[in-house]
């Protein structure tokens, strides 16, 4: 349903040394080291094991999203861990010295995080220079996100663009997972400043009680952040996932465990229950949450408190206690490499399908997972560890590290800019070629090869148009007509003839209706019709409520009500609707979601057919697990076919609703997409898909004669 659903993995920002690296604690405090270590910290192996759980949840979620639909909660675990570790370190420094040396703190963070992070970004920038690895159509967004990630504002970039990111398709970039890294870096800037402010308040108002002032200040900030998170998720859920203040409370929960000794439980029985209970909660949400869960909001409290419970469980007396199990060597190893594993896994997932001869079988996925672990270990061994101990920087003032970090970031950004310079001409030429293709398509092209008798004996083109590297931009340009998941406005757009006697056609539905917009605009202009549109992401024109809980489902219901009011106040000659077949519906009062969907379509359509207005609908196109253009860039089209049983919903509720209802015309192009056993990504030389389930405008245009004929016949029958 979504392109690359907005839950792109956690950040392992706090490294093993943040847990009290034994090598560090055994070393005598030197004068040039930070006062943060004036009070030795104890290594907490079970927290390192919790880090392993978090990163495995995210990595497995990205490799097999259908098997672990809530694995994105790993990011919440990491936020709690970071809040616990960083607050504890800063509090020790405040207690020992009365202040926090910000320059030293930020320099240590830079030495710990930036070398591996910038290495991966540099590899992604170099990959962007290679059309075989990065589709040219994705280049502008890829470059923008690499630069945003380099300067740690990726979460805000996605917040401002999250509507497209969370909804109707697109090409995920190799660096989208840097949103959580960006948020963590912002936490490292904000948190010590808050604690310094609290220390000043403690001296001024609490008779020098720094810890109490810090506790109260961070507590107030955390409560305010949680309230903001819940409200913002209800009112504006897409950007709420990325906005910094909506996540601060999760760091704050970890901070409370660090600041309140009573929360670190030593009692054997309570510690046992807390630890295993926390792990059970994390596994529960990993398997039960999914892309439709309103998140973060109040739902994020479950993984947050689950992670906090595991951290708080401190008793290590028995081998079966969670603290001991999480301290086993495999868990420690994964925890050690978690930061690099997080960094590498997502770019490899995005790039691998574009590598020649690389497939998408289970064996390829397992092999890629192994490669991720190997790369993570190599990066930890030869980049992370040496960089944070590099004497050239460690022995010099903090500003040297910070200036070196800034210089390295500029180099990465310039490399990304170089990728654009190298490919900008090809991008412009490709976009221009698509426009020319729309204006003057070849004869016997696309669906015409299957549907038109005159093309039966014509040999179809062996090329692919648009080219697989440009299919992603072959989409309707009128994005303002598409209402996003969190928006309930019944916004309409008007196209075509304004003549008083022009036939009036409405086009209504979700993103699978929106994908036909450009085609219907051309039809309206050619036929002299007036076109009115209503589109909303993941919200078909149906009277049955979605099973999606919370704000998304409520916004869909409100949008439908608004659309229905608008339709009731207008006179149309025909209404066309389309929708994705896999939308889940509330089955209350029905035998199944399918039955609920069929009844809902018929109820919505009857508001038109009862007025004598014909309705035309179309069986949904096949939906692929991953964008077939990744395969088409490296293989012949015939090698990219997929099993019909996996791609096509045979029991489409649109078909079920239309076949038993008068006044409704059903179009079925299944034979264009599929034969008895397989479905194709290319038909008659036309590239069908711009992502895993949305049609290119070029291909949709080849269906225009059938759309026009169906609309004309329906309106003629109406008289």
Q: Read off the pTM.
A: 0.85
363 and 229, same domain (yes or no): yes
Q: Indicate the SS3 state at residue 627.
A: coil
The Cα 124–Cα 139 span in angstroms is 11
For residue 466, cis peptide bond before it (omega within 30 degrees of 0)? yes
496 and 402, same domain (yes or no): no
Q: What is the pLDDT of residue 681?
A: 97
Q: Which segments within 611-679 are labelled E, that is strand?
A: 615-618, 642-643, 664-667, 678-679
Give residues with Cβ within 8 angstroms of 218, minimum separation 6.
87, 194, 195, 198, 252, 255, 256, 259
More confident residue, 176 or 548: 176
Residue 139 is part of which domain span?
Answer: 16-421
Mean pLDDT of 487-506: 94
pLDDT category of residue 635 using cuts at 50, 70 and 90: confident
Task: Give the chain's mean pLDDT.
Answer: 89
H or E stretch at 586: none
Lowest-confidence region among 96-105, 152-161, 435-444, 456-465: 456-465
Angle between the 74-97 and 301-312 helix axes, to the nearest 10 degrees?
50
Give the per-residue SS3 of 210-276. HHHHHHHHHHHHHHHHHHHHHHHHHHCHHHHCCCHHHCHHHHHHHHHHHHCHHHCECCHHHHHHHHH
Q: What is the pLDDT of residue 443?
A: 86
pLDDT category of residue 588 using cuts at 50, 70 and 90: confident
Q: Is the pLDDT of residue 4 over 50?
A: no
The Cα 393–Cα 31 span in angstroms is 16
In a domain, 450, yes or no: no
Q: What is the pLDDT of residue 558?
A: 94
Single out the residue in 404, 421, 438 at which a domain terminates: 421
Q: What is the pLDDT of residue 43?
A: 66
Give 535-585 pLDDT, tens digit per residue.
999 899 999 999 876 667 888 999 999 999 999 999 999 999 999 999 999
CATH number at residue 486: 3.40.50.1110
Q: What is the pLDDT of residue 460?
A: 66
In a domain, 283, yes or no: yes
Torsion 528-534-539-541 (CA) sign: negative
How many domains does the chain contain in total?
2
408 and 496, same domain (yes or no): no
In a domain, 3, yes or no: no
Closest CA to 510 of 474, 555, 472: 555
More confident residue, 653 or 459: 653
pLDDT category of residue 28 using cuts at 50, 70 and 90: very low
pLDDT category of residue 335 using cuts at 50, 70 and 90: very high
171 and 313, same domain (yes or no): yes
153 and 256, same domain (yes or no): yes
Q: Where are the alpha helices (DSSP H) in 550-592?
A: 550-568
pLDDT category of residue 461 using cuts at 50, 70 and 90: low
477 and 407, same domain (yes or no): no
402 and 485, same domain (yes or no): no
- Residue 109 dihedral angles phi and psi, to the nearest 5°: -60, -45
Q: Is the pLDDT of residue 304 over 60?
A: yes
Q: What is the pLDDT of residue 21?
A: 33
411 and 482, same domain (yes or no): no
Give 387-405 pLDDT, tens digit per residue.
988 888 999 999 999 999 9
The Cα 275–Cα 244 span in angstroms is 28
Give 415-449 pLDDT, tens digit per residue.
999 999 999 898 888 888 888 888 888 889 999 99
H or E stretch at 142: helix 139-150
Give 78-109 pLDDT, tens digit per residue.
999 999 999 999 999 999 998 999 999 999 99
In a domain, 574, yes or no: yes
332 and 242, same domain (yes or no): yes
In a domain, 429, yes or no: no
pLDDT category of residue 162 using cuts at 50, 70 and 90: low
In a domain, 465, yes or no: no
Q: What is the pLDDT of residue 459?
A: 75
392 and 528, same domain (yes or no): no
Give 218-242 pLDDT, tens digit per residue.
999 999 999 999 999 888 877 899 9
Q: Is the pLDDT of residue 480 over 70?
A: yes
Q: What is the pLDDT of residue 186?
A: 97
Contact 14, 82 (CB under 8 A): yes
Mean pLDDT of 161-178: 67
Q: What is the pLDDT of residue 37?
A: 36
In a domain, 655, yes or no: yes
CA distances from 238 to 11, 150, 234, 407, 443 (A): 19, 23, 10, 33, 43
481 and 628, same domain (yes or no): yes
385 and 502, same domain (yes or no): no
Single out the residue in 421, 444, 462 at which a domain terminates: 421
In a domain, 436, yes or no: no
Whole-number percent of the chain with pLDDT over 70: 91
Q: Is the pLDDT of residue 175 over 60?
A: yes
């Amino acid at each position: 349903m979504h392109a690359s659903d907005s839950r792109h993995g956690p950040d392992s920002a706090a490294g093993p040394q943040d847990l009290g690296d034994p090598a560090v604690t055994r070393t005598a405090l030197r004068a040039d080291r930070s006062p943060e270590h004036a009070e030795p910290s104890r290594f907490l192996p079970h927290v390192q094991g919790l880090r392993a759980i978090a990163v495995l949840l995210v990595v497995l979620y990205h490799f097999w999203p259908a098997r672990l639909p809530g694995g994105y909660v790993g990011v919440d675990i990491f936020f709690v861990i970071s809040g616990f570790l960083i607050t504890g370190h800063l509090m020790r420094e405040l207690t020992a010295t009365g202040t926090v040396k910000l320059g030293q703190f930020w320099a240590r963070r830079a030495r710990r995080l930036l070398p591996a992070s910038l290495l991966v970004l540099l590899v992604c920038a170099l990959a962007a220079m290679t059309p075989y690895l990065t589709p040219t159509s994705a280049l502008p967004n890829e470059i923008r996100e690499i630069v945003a990630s380099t300067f740690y504002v990726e979460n805000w970039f996605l917040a401002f663009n999250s509507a497209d990111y969370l909804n109707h398709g697109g090409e995920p970039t190799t660096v989208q997972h840097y949103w959580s890294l960006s948020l963590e870096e912002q936490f490292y800037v904000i948190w010590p400043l808050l604690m310094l402010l609290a220390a000043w308040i403690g001296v001024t108002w609490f008779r020098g009680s720094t810890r109490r002032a810090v506790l109260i200040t961070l507590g107030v900030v955390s409560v305010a952040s949680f309230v903001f998170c819940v409200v913002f998720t209800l009112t504006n859920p897409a950007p709420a996932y990325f906005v910094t203040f909506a996540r601060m409370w999760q760091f704050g929960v970890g901070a409370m465990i660090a600041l309140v000794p009573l929360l670190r439980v030593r009692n054997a029985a309570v510690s046992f229950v807390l630890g295993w209970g926390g792990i059970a909660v994390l596994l529960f949400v990993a398997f039960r949450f999914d892309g439709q869960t309103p998140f973060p909001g109040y739902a994020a409290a479950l993984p947050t408190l689950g992670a906090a419970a595991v951290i708080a469980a401190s008793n290590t007396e028995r081998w079966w206690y969670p603290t001991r199990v999480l301290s086993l060597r495999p868990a420690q190893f994964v925890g050690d490499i978690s930061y690099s594993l997080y960094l590498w896994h997502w770019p490899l997932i995005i790039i691998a399908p574009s590598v020649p001869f690389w497939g998408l079988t289970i064996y390829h996925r397992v092999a890629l997972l192994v490669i991720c672990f190997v790369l993570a270990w190599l990066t930890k061994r030869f980049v992370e560890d040496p960089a944070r101990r590099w004497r050239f920087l460690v022995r010099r003032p903090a500003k040297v590290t910070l200036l070196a970090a800034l210089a390295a970031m500029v180099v990465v950004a310039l490399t990304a800019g170089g990728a654009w310079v190298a490919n900008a001409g090809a991008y412009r030429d490709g976009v221009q070629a698509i426009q020319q293709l729309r204006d003057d398509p070849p004869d016997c092209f696309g669906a015409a090869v299957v549907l038109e008798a005159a093309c039966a004996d014509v040999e179809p083109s062996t090329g692919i148009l648009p080219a697989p590297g440009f299919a992603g931009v072959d989409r309707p340009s009128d994005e303002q007509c598409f209402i996003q998941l969190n928006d309930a406005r019944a916004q309409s757009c008007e196209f075509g003839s304004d003549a008083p006697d022009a036939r009036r056609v409405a086009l209504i539905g979700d993103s699978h209706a929106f994908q036909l917009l450009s085609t219907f605009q051309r039809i309206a202009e050619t036929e002299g019709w007036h076109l009115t549109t209503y589109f909303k992401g993941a919200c078909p024109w149906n009277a049955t409520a979605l099973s999606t809980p919370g704000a998304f489902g409520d916004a869909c219901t409100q949008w439908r009500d608004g659309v229905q009011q608008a339709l009731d106040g207008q006179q149309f000659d025909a209404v066309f609707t389309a929708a994705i077949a896999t939308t889940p519906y509330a089955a209350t009062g029905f035998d199944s979601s399918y039955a609920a969907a069929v009844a809902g379509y018929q109820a919505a359509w009857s508001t038109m057919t009862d007025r004598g207005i014909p309705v035309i609908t179309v069986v949904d196109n096949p939906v692929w697990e991953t964008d077939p253009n990744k395969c088409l860039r490296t293989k012949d089209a015939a090698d990219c076919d997929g099993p019909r049983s996996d791609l096509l919903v045979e029991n489409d509720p649109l078909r079920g609703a239309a076949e038993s209802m008068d006044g409704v015309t059903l179009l079925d192009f299944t034979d264009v997409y599929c034969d008895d056993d397989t479905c194709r990504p290319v038909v008659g030389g036309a590239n069908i898909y711009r992502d895993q389930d949305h049609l290119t405008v070029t291909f949709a245009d080849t269906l225009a004669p059938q759309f026009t004929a169906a609309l004309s016949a329906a309106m003629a029958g109406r008289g």
